[in-house]
Amino acid sequence: MKNNGNRKIVLLGVLAVLVCIYVIQLVFTGRNKIKIVSVKDEPDSFVIQTGTGEEVKLFKDGDGWFVGDKKYPANAYSAGEMCEAVKSVKILGTAMRSLNVESMSGEAERYGLDADNRITVKAYKDGKEIQTVIVGKDSSNGRQSYIQFKNDNTVYLAGSALHSTFGVSVNDLRSKEVYSLDSSEIYSVNISYKADGVLKSFSFAKSADETAEEGFVSKENWICTPASMTSYSSEMPSELDSEKVTNWVRSLSTLNVSEWLDDDFSISKADSDFSMLIATKDKTVDLRGYVKDDETYLYCSEVPYCFKVASYIGARFTKTPSDFSKDIDVD
């Protein structure tokens, strides 16, 4: 009987502990209930101010997004990500009930909301401010961030890394696309390059002859010719590998920059070590440039600014005829 009594006391004690834990969980859940702070309108412009004083303007004009006073084309994906981030902010809980970020309190620095680190994001629709979020640092796991809303001293834990989303510069937001072509519509590529101080030129032209494979698939055939007899080189392939040319032409159909150069940077024909003309039925893309320190500096007629690409990208523009011989491997 005594053992039974001890068991009852132990069980009652365990039950009491479980009840306490349950009550604590209820209180915690009630205080940190997930909620969504949303705005009805889709933003069409942003003003992003950093603690260092830099201001980034992102705005929509027609169907496209642009960034900065010079109206650089913007990365549409980044613009869409910002719109979604502001339209619907998921609040996971409250980190601090009241924090005046203008005060000298160390708490502001703790959450990355001090004057040197916070990011103020203002979203607009038709010139009207529809949302303002003051963004602090991202959490230690990199998936949440500490934020405040306009006229609200509460510090919230947001369910996304908003500091990473909005901590960007004009260059970060600029579109990296130079051009995008349909490779099947490219019918010729003309190349000029300097070799041992001598300018050499050759071209690839798509042949009208196509060989059928498996009864329905057409294989593109190419003809390689020197631009003139004076530029004829012993590098001309004895047997051209059309498949290599086709794969290479596909690699030329799109081009993205690794870094935009200063607006006043220019690359003249005299400064260029190579040039290329890519012709389709609708347009001709003119490229020229040179290689320096394992990077390729390029001008392209499709954009008004010069840029750099990595060396492995630049290698596409410096091929020689012998690279397309059947007995030579081409990258």
For 85-143, write each residue's pLDDT tens digit.
Answer: 999 999 999 988 877 666 656 778 889 998 889 999 999 999 999 999 999 999 888 89
Q: What is the pLDDT of residue 27?
A: 42
Residue range 155-167, pLDDT digits in tens = 999 999 999 999 9
Q: What is the mean pLDDT of the chain?
A: 84
- Assess contact for 201 and 231: CB atoms under 8 A: yes
Residue 114 has what DSSP assignment? S
User: Higher confidence at residue 53 or residue 204?
Assistant: 204
Q: What is the pLDDT of residues 130-147, one digit of tens each?
A: 999 999 999 888 899 999
Confidence band for 301, pLDDT divided at 50, 70 and 90: very high
HSE at residue 241, side-chain half, CA atoms within 13 A, is: 14
Per-residue pLDDT tens digits for 266-293: 999 999 999 999 999 999 999 999 999 8
pLDDT at 175 over 80: yes
Q: What stretch of H or E contains 106?
A: helix 106-110
Please compute the mean of the pLDDT values over residues 149-178 and round it to a whole number.
Answer: 94
Q: Give the Cα separation of 305 and 263 in Å (integer).
A: 6
Report how far residue 56's alpha carbon sits from residue 50's, in angstroms, rounded to the nearest whole number.
9
d(CA 246, CA 263): 34
Question: 16 falls in which pLDDT band (50, 70, 90)?
Answer: low
If one compares 59 and 193, the residue with the highest pLDDT of the two is 59
- What's the mean pLDDT in 61-70? 95
- 64 contacts: CB under 8 Å, gap ≥ 6: 73, 74, 76
pLDDT of residue 32: 54
**pTM for the full model?**
0.76
Decide: 54 and 166 in contact? Cβ < 8 Å. Answer: no
Q: Work out the pLDDT band at 216, boundaries 50, 70, 90.
A: very low
Confidence of residue 26 (pLDDT cuts 50, 70, 90): very low
Token pair for 236: 């001309």
Neighbouring-strand partners of residue 120: 49, 134
Rounded CA-CA distance 83/211 in Å is 50
